Amino acid sequence: MIQLNERKPILQAINLRHEYEARGQKIVALQDVNLTINAGDFVTVVGPSGCGKSTLAKIFAGLGTPTSGEALYAGKPIKGASSERGMVFQELAVLPWRTVVGNIGHGLEIAGMPKAEREQRVAELVRLIGLEGFEKKYPSELSGGMRQRVAVARTWATRPPVILMDEPFAAVDAITRLTLQEELIRLARTTKQTVVFITHSVEEAVFLGDYIVAMSSRPGRVLEIVPVPDMGINRTWEQMIRDPRIEAIVSRVFELVRGRAVAPSTERQHA
């Protein structure tokens, strides 16, 4: 196994700017975004709807090119998608004509893993996401939350060094979500993967992240990077909500994303 230097930058955004053009109108989705994510980090990105979180994730995945600025992976400019950076989409991306196991094993199939080994790995993941008994079902026969779990497992299956997750648990019920979040933390910590987790829930961001990237909207900028004290690999919600430090961070991030915080950097007075 390659020993990763813990503080080695793996994803970088340098003066990123992204504009969309819709029916002649220009929309600035991202502006002046500078961000460095180190290998092994669990980063959460939080911000109001429309602040460019999905846009940022797609640029890191290589599915979109920034209008200006640079996005780097392991020091090299990102050109196109790669199996080194997996992505779970906000929209449902699993294929309706493939079964649960067909979808989860898709990346392994593309990578050319032998069938027996693939089936074993897929079975492990099915157990992990709690979908035993649904292996041969098609996505149309599953609930929204179950489908999203399949999408997560599909991305996780190939163990890419970086996983970008765009609001993966939005359609999952609150109780299942808690289990999935705890499971995700355990998984990410044991595999040392880098996770960029996008959410619009401040609590989720604080619970999961090593640090939180708080973003503002119109245009989307990075407001502040808020570190979270290390709660260990076995953190639970119960433990987190009792901690006064966490409570302070939650309210700080809330202030930031709602635009009520006094920005520490420059003049960001808005009308």
What is the binding site for ligand ATP (CB under 6 A)?
20, 22, 27, 29, 47, 49-55, 90, 200
Pick between residue 106 and residue 118 the one whose CB is nearest to another protein.
106
Residues 57-116 binding another protein (CB under 8 A) are: 58, 61-63, 80-83, 85-87, 89, 91-97, 106-107, 110-111
- The answer to whether 44 contacts Mg ion (rule: CB under 5 A) is no
185 CB contacts (<8 Å, ≥6 apart)?
A: 42, 208, 233, 235
Min dist CB 208 to ligand ATP, Å, is 16
Query: One symbol per residue from 62 to 101: x for binding Mg ion (CB under 5 A), - otherwise; what is it?
Result: ----------------------------x-----------
Pick between residue 54 and residue 148 the one whose CB is nearest to Mg ion.
54
Min dist CB 109 to another protein, Å, is 9
Q: Would you say 88 and 152 are in contact if contact means Cβ atoms under 8 Å apart? A: yes
Pick between residue 106 and residue 235 the one whose CB is nearest to another protein.
106
Q: Would you say 162 and 193 are in contact if contact means Cβ atoms under 8 Å apart? A: yes
- The answer to whether 55 contacts Mg ion (rule: CB under 5 A) is no
Cα end-to-end distance, the chain, whole Å:
53
Among 44, 55, 158, 193, binds another protein (CB under 8 A): 158
Min dist CB 223 to ligand ATP, Å, is 13
Q: Which does 138 bind (CB under 5 to 8 A by kind): ligand ATP, another protein, Mg ion, none?
A: another protein
Min dist CB 51 to Mg ion, Å, is 9
Pick between residue 66 and residue 107 the one whose CB is nearest to another protein.
107
- The answer to whether 140 contacts another protein (rule: CB under 8 A) is yes
- The residue ranges that bind another protein (CB under 8 A) are 58, 61-63, 80-83, 85-87, 89, 91-97, 106-107, 110-111, 138-140, 151, 154-155, 158, 160, 164
- The residue ranges that bind Mg ion (CB under 5 A) are 54, 90
